[in-house]
Copies of this chain bind each other. A is one copy, B any other.
């Protein structure tokens, strides 16, 4: 008897601790996906094993659609249009979608499949999320650099390979490799299909489409089916688990120091302090997410886009996959702080000088393209309701008030650096033809792209050192001295 109890208890403990591949009776693997797995469990055990730990491997769209509104993880309403909707979501269910649109579609052991699964494919089950995302700055991130003449010049100038010749730095041509590994690693490359190629692997010679600018997982990737964006930067292949998307490491791949130190400042904030200390005791998988029960400190997703409820199941914040949904002001990536743009396509903005920027170099805001004060209030209130689930009204108002004020101060510091730059151009210490390539100009970039951003994020997220010594007021102050002295030494006049 004792032995039975012992082994039973041991089994239970293991069942609870070992993530296992289990299917309910109602949700079996399709015959097609089974055939994929027959090979891929051996030849790509990492992909197959990862998927085995996913919800996709355990749930069919049909079952997933039966959950209550708050618990639902899919947003499609009419599942009758979904093929294999009573099967779990296996390899074939995703890689076979919309083949006619996919330039990367090819025949692979009798099946027509795509290499890249795109947001337009995910749209089959998750249409609300895909639609929200499509309107965001993220989905347009590639074009927000490439189709913005100012930013495109910045990108090309910083990443092209240079030579030194007779006292001059000679810039090479556009360096797509470097751009793909840096800016577009986050912003997304344009994946092109360049015919076919034969690859040799365990199974023999296999013919596959040849992709250019690949691999890439940038949020604004241009996919072989023409769709924009990627879901995998936040829901990485092939587990697609929500807990990964909710943990700060995911956002931290792109939103990090020195240019966007959100992740780093979070880590040194009290929020990050509690998160790091209690990570293993909190629940990042539950839908909806219960404040105070599942989590005792927020992650990026908590404040910025997750569906939150209190213990009584009352909604504190609605889910959104437009990540500006709770943001009213934009504090990074541009010369001056400004209201969020109306459209995710920021390259459509024109400032008073005709440039595709939300403000002039002098600081005049391009109001027509930016959200108005009503919309700002609305979004601020959404964020406020998240703050209020853990903080008093007085605390919250004090905090939000500081954000507005610090933006004004950092904009003044940037303006001071812009004035030095203008004087430097006038006095010959730099040549304004390309405003991004010379020492004085690079110092000016530091002032807004690194230091002002750091100071603003510090206040917004309450992690002090990035406002002080680490690209904060210290460097910001020092940089003005450096610029002033540079102009003094290098003026032609």
Contact = CB atoms under 8 A, between A and B. Distances in A.
A463 to B, nearest CB: 7
A472 interface: yes
A293 to B, nearest CB: 5
Interface in A292-344: 292-293, 296, 310-312, 314, 316
A243 interface: yes
Contact of A390 (B46, B175, B392, B480): B46
Interface residues of A, number: 146
A111 interface: no
A81 interface: no
A72 interface: no
A99 interface: no
A178 B6 contact: no
A177 interface: yes
A310 B45 contact: yes
Interface string A1-30: 010111011101100100100000000000
* Residue from A45, A181, A215, A393 having most chain B Cβ neighbours under 10 A: A181
B44 A392 contact: yes
Interface string A438-468: 1100100000011000010011001111011
Contact of A161 (B10, B45, B412): B412
B292 A268 contact: no
A250 interface: yes
Nearest to A443: B478
B481 A490 contact: no
Contacts of A395: 214-215
Nearest to A263: B268
Contact of A178 (B43, B310, B439, B473): B473
B244 A416 contact: no
A405 interface: yes
A238 to B, nearest CB: 9
A56 to B, nearest CB: 14
A10 B5 CA distance: 12
Interface in A167-183: 167-169, 175, 177-178, 180-183
A439 B391 CA distance: 42
Nearest to A247: B277
Nearest to A252: B268
Given A16-B13, A274-B244, A480-B169, A463 B253 contact: yes
Contacts of A442: 474, 477-478, 481
Contacts of A249: 267, 272-273, 276-277
A274 B241 CA distance: 10
A47 B390 contact: yes
A79 interface: no
Interface string A257-285: 11100000001111011101110110000
A163 B413 CA distance: 7
B478 A439 contact: yes
Contact of A175 (B217, B243, B409): B409
A464 B45 contact: no
Interface in A396-423: 397-399, 402, 405-406, 409, 412-413, 415-417, 419-420, 423
Interface string A66-92: 000000000000000000000000000
Which 6 residue pairs spanning A and B have beta carbons closest together?
A49-B292, A46-B390, A185-B464, A199-B393, A45-B292, A182-B468
9 contacts: A6-B12, A41-B292, A45-B291, A46-B292, A49-B296, A162-B412, A175-B409, A181-B458, A185-B462
